[in-house]
Structure 1
């Protein structure tokens, strides 16, 4: 193990030859993150969610790999808030779920969704309606269909967020009324296991450090509709964080859109995030397994 100090930042590096399979990387570090690079022909960037049509690539934009400093929020969790940073860390969350809860979509909706809804009501003031519209399980395993996403992105654009309101609120009059108030999309992220995350942790940038000019709308093409996500261009002013050793008793709230921020600018709107390869991960570490539940929140 070696420690170096540059300016006011201390970086600790653990050799990748670490043999303690139970070691949990913690503290400030640096990692290579994959940012957005525009299509060579400057065309509208797109990404196909499933197999692209014949002759089309899965995506038409490129990658810009940059090494960035990452600060560990462990021990400073209360310093960050959804309205300011677009992320918030919750600890000591009680849950009746077990690892087996996440074996099927039906079990997740029946047993975990009610906990997510209760969590949102407890920690996000002013909410009067919640619609949980999607979830994804990711496993850092070569055989898994959905693995951690190692690409900096934001899940929604303002246009896509409004489209979600109209898609998931099926009564047009209700959707119109709700869209005139405050609506947000927040992802609730957690590991599946009680054991601390050792590999493929999640990095996220405080919204206070993100220039809107760094965000690029990307067409997210489903088989039956087209949504939008955002690619994120590298900017050295961005402040990146991660939460070391997250367990199944902790939750990370990630705000992907906020109509209040769009309308009056007094709260943050979105949080760029990505999985990353932590070079300190020990040999034989547990593959990261996680679930993110996506919520439309009104009020």
Structure 2
């Protein structure tokens, strides 16, 4: 005979043990998502699950972590435990809880879908043309005349489904398994141009169908350091517009410009981390197919001797945001800022421009490694 206290004690132990194993399953999944040993992972999970549950006072039904469902495709045939109110978490609450779990693990890399605050464009109140001074503005002028506002948006992790996205539809594309670069430090501009630029040019020619000429016009190294020259940009934007793309062709390739502008020309940024897997300030990007022309607002980018044009982005709930969790040094992200093919009637290119921004994932642990990255901007021609 078992007393009522024993029933309570056993139920408590089962609940706590199940929770501990769920946390272990989450951590195990986070640690091994980037490996190719999904079958081994599944066998490991099933073995530990059987041993663990078999040691409990009575049979129970166990629900593995949603992350395991997603990455190992685990099937359960028995009815799950009924959730208590504490388990009925909203998406944002679940993300917050996950962040609290890993708050003290400085090696933790956030993975899976998330919700984060993005900073959007707010037009000038007086209706004037938006502008931004790159350097010190003239006396009496503000640095910029437009505002911004924050809003929470869902962001989908495309880890494992990278091939679902491409430049013509989404204006972004992921390249995996890139060989180690000859450039190691990414601190000297001339060394970057000598060692890294040729690698970027080859990468584009090998992976952008029909491309036959690449001209790299600049690069930016960003570091999450208060003393760094440039840090991650936490504002939704596009680097170039149709107007500035044409200006770039004429500025950098004046003798060939007329001929090149008759064919297909694009601006593609090649983005990558340079200090290992990204923990914080990851890059989010919205599919061009979900971004309307009305969302894209030209902004004058004023230099001392010339004026370019970038784009601010209005919020639209139809925009679909994505990121690639734990992006590593051997991965590249193509970000298309402009594609002349998108201007033609009946084109298959859906916009040809990708809004993007750095964002703070609420699950990022305190003391996480700062993100360091390089973005190389390229004029791409052909076919």
Q: Which bin holds the TM-score, normalised by the shorter protein?
A: over 0.9
**Contact 2:218 2:377 survives alignment (8 Å):** yes
Find the counterpart in structure 1 of residue 197 from structure 2.
113
When normalised by structure 2's length, the TM-score is: 0.74
> Size of the alignment, in residue pairs?
293
Structure 1 residue ranges, 4+ long, deviating more than 6 angstroms after superposition: none
* Partner Cα separation in structure 1 for residue 141 and residue 223 of structure 2: 27
Find the counterpart in structure 2 of residue 85 from structure 1.
170
**Residue ranges of structure 1 left out of the alignment (5+ in a row):** none
Q: Quick one: structure 1 residues 3 and 232, their matched pair in 2 at CA, closer, same or farther if it must change by over 3 Å?
A: farther
Find the counterpart in structure 1 of residue 358 from structure 2.
275
Q: 1:183-209, CA deviations, whole angstroms, 9 ceiling, x for partnerless residues?
A: 00000000012x210010000000111
Q: Secondary structure at the match of 1:295?
A: strand
Find the counterpart in structure 2 of residue 189 from structure 1.
271
Q: 1:62-82, CA deviations, whole angstroms, 9 ceiling, x for partnerless residues?
A: 102110000000011010000
* Partner Cα separation in structure 2 for residue 134 and residue 224 of structure 1: 17
Find the counterpart in structure 2 of residue 148 from structure 1.
232
**Contact 1:149 1:275 survives alignment (8 Å):** yes
Q: Secondary structure at the match of 2:327?
A: coil
* Partner Cα separation in structure 2 for residue 96 and residue 24 of structure 1: 24
* Partner Cα separation in structure 2 for residue 12 and residue 28 of structure 1: 9
Task: Tell whether 2:298 aligns with 1:217.
Answer: yes
Higher relative contact order (CA 8 A, sep 6+): 1
* Partner Cα separation in structure 2 for residue 3 and residue 230 of structure 1: 40
Find the counterpart in structure 1 of residue 373 from structure 2.
290
Task: Tell whether 2:333 aligns with 1:252.
Answer: yes
RMSD: 1.7
* Partner Cα separation in structure 2 for residue 144 and residue 48 of structure 1: 20
* Partner Cα separation in structure 2 for residue 284 and residue 70 of structure 1: 23
Shift of 1:244: 0.6
When normalised by structure 1's length, the TM-score is: 0.94
* Partner Cα separation in structure 1 for residue 287 and residue 89 of structure 2: 25
Find the counterpart in structure 2 of residue 26 from structure 1.
111
Q: 1:145-175, CA deviations, whole angstroms, 9 ceiling, x for partnerless residues?
A: 211000000111101100110011031xx11
Judging by fraction of residues, say which structure has more helix. 2
Greater shift, 144-153 or 91-100, is seen at: 91-100
**Residue ranges of structure 2 left out of the alignment (5+ in a row):** 1-22, 24-86
Find the counterpart in structure 2 of residue 96 from structure 1.
181
Shift of 1:97: 3.0
Q: Quick one: structure 1 residues 3 and 149, their matched pair in 2 at CA, closer, same or farther if it must change by over 3 Å?
A: farther
* Partner Cα separation in structure 1 for residue 93 and residue 157 of structure 2: 11
Q: Secondary structure at the match of 1:103?
A: coil
Structure exhibiting the larger radius of gyration computed from Cα positions: 2
